[in-house]
C-alpha cells in the first residue's frame, strides 16, 4: 500500500508504486506528488528517467519512477495521516488500520 499526499492536500491510497506512476502522468508528477510513503514508513522521491520537455510547440511527457529516499519512519507516516484528510471511505479505513497497527 502506498500513501500519497497530493496537491489537493488530501491523502490518496494506491496499491503499489507502479500504480502511482500509472495514474499520475509525468507532466503532473512534480506538482501533484507532495509526499509518498509505503506502509512501512519508507518515503519515496521522483527520479527522472526522461524529463518533461517544454518547447514552443508544446509539452512532451517525460518518464519518471519513484525511488526510496532516506530511512523509513513510521512516525513521519503517522504524522502525515493524522494531519491530512483521506479521500474516500476505502482510503480512510486503510489509513486507520495502518495507524492502529503502528506503535506510537
pLDDT tens for residues 34-71?
999 999 999 999 999 999 888 777 888 899 999 999 99
Taking the C-alpha atoms of residue 48 and residue 98, their distance in angstroms, rounded to an integer, is 30
Please tell me whether residue 67 adopts helix, strand or coil conformation.
Answer: strand
Nearest 10 degrees: Cα torsion 11, 12, 16, 20: -110
- Domain boundaries, given as residue ranges, for the chain: 2-101
- Do 25 and 41 form a contact (C-beta atoms < 8 A)? no
- Do 11 and 95 form a contact (C-beta atoms < 8 A)? yes
Stated pTM of the model: 0.87
pLDDT tens for residues 21-42?
999 999 999 999 999 999 999 9
Whose CA is closest to 85, among 9, 2, 3, 4?
A: 9
Amino acid at each position: 500500500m502506498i500513501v500519497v499526499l497530493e496537491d489537493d492536500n488530501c491523502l490518496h491510497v494506491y496499491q503499489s508504486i507502479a500504480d502511482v506512476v500509472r495514474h499520475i502522468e509525468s507532466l503532473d508528477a512534480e506538482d501533484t506528488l507532495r509526499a509518498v510513503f509505503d506502509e512501512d514508513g519508507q518515503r519515496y522521491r521522483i527520479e527522472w528517467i526522461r524529463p518533461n520537455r517544454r518547447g514552443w510547440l508544446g509539452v512532451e511527457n517525460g518518464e519518471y519512477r519513484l525511488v526510496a529516499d532516506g530511512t523509513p519512519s513510521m512516525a513521519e507516516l503517522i504524522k502525515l495521516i493524522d494531519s491530512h484528510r483521506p479521500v474516500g471511505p476505502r482510503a480512510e479505513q486503510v489509513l486507520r488500520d495502518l495507524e492502529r497497527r503502528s506503535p506510537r
